[in-house]
Amino acid sequence: MRAKTAVVLGAQWGDEGKGKIVDVLSERFSAVARYAGGHNAGHTVIIGGQKFVLQLIPCGVLRPGCKGIIGNGVVLDPLAFLKEVGRLRDLGVAVDGNLFVSNRTQVILPYHRMIELASECAPGRQKIGTTSKGIGPAYEDKMARSGLRIVDLLHPTLLKTHIEAACAEKNAIAHALFGTDPLDPAKMYDEYAAAAEQVRPFVADTGRLLNNIMANGGSVMFEGAQGTLLDIDHGTYPFVTSSSATAGGACTGTGVGPTNIGTVIAVTKAYVTRVGEGPFPTEIHDQVGEDLRARGNEYGAVTGRPRRCGWLDIPLLRYSNQVNGAEWLVITKLDVLDELAEIPICIGYEIDGRVTDEIPADVQGLESIKPRYTTLKGWRQSTEGITEFEKLPQAAQDYLRFQERESGARVGMVSTGPDRNQTMVLPEFADALESIHR
């Protein structure tokens, strides 16, 4: 019997619209668990015209009766977390009693932001395009076994000792390397000791909580952050995030075993976008790219940064589905392509005169790719808000079926607009979801 669980993640470089999809699907799940990343990942959900931007908190909290869980694989800035909790309370969302934070989650402190910002701006350093929120340095401390976890944050004496020792080290490093002014450990302790008491009611052994939910017949959705091509191991390294954004991260990031993963649902746009630096084989550099950005409102939900836009890349999508074991595809922003007469799709690569569909592991290889395109006919009529596959223009149906056939995963849902209701669920996917829900 398959586990009543699903992993929902991004198949590209993030910003695929996972927030809306997790929200749409969450009504079928007892809990939604976030397993990686920090507050650099913005998920936008629009419900009845009201906009919710979530950075740390799983989208499940927007559904009455659905628990939101922040797993141990996340790095958490307590101040950012409390600010987000406050915004949701102001909007009438019932977070208290429905939201839980793993006691094993790593904590982001001000010196992490100091180090990241100074490093990213240092002369001669290769820019990665981070949000400078301290995510990377917090993961560095985790792997160096010198980080602070939520369970430690709640012990004032341990917190004070940790901050004093860390500031002595980080201040010296930042000043020596970047000329940065030192942080005040006493001020930092006062601020974070106070924040700890506000975080305390949310803290739990969430691995135990999730396993108990499943043991008692409940269903769990694991919510990814960023996207597969930003994964620390499998992404376009070094232009990646600092955590495991792929399906494997759902296990290590929550304390749930791999045999408890029922299915993997990959979210992909009908085209491709990327924020920040790094290789992007199918990037569009002319007015068509500008038009896609405008029609798709391609600006970061957290940073406001303009996203780079490109044509759908089948080899990358196929690679992503392979890494994740993706069974289903959710395709978003189909309506953004409505005005195009023709739509190029990358079906292969030419690298140094050699035709291939293999993804190079190195940046130099990725940057030397010459995409090989096929062109599909556009539909040049509105698909916005259509919720039945058969009512789509035939050319739009053909585009989706091509994406399905070439990527190795079945199309289960299609988003035709930003609102919760502007979503079509294909019958076979509805049946699969029903088997999870039962």
Catalytic residues, by residue number, are: 15, 43
8 A C-beta contact, residue 245 and residue 9? yes
Counts for the chain of helices (H) and strands (E), in that order: 14, 19
Q: Taking phi first (over 0 means left), then psi (-120 to 50 degrees means alpha), and beta for anything else, what does residue 59 get?
A: alpha
Write the DSSP assignment of 345-359 as a string of letters.
EEEEEEETTEEE-PP
In which region does residue 75 sit, left (phi positive, over 0), alpha (psi from -120 to 50) or beta (all else)?
Answer: beta
DSSP 8-state class, residue 135: H
DSSP 211: H
Q: Are strands 370-377 and 410-415 parallel, antiparallel or unpaired?
A: unpaired
Is the alpha carbon torsion for 270, 271, 277, 279 positive or negative? positive
Please tell me the distance from the alpha carbon of residue 8 to that of residue 222, in angstroms, as a whole number: 6
Q: What span, in angstroms and rounded, lies between the C-alpha atoms of 159 and 154?
A: 8
Nearest by Cα to 412 from 84, 89, 28, 72: 28
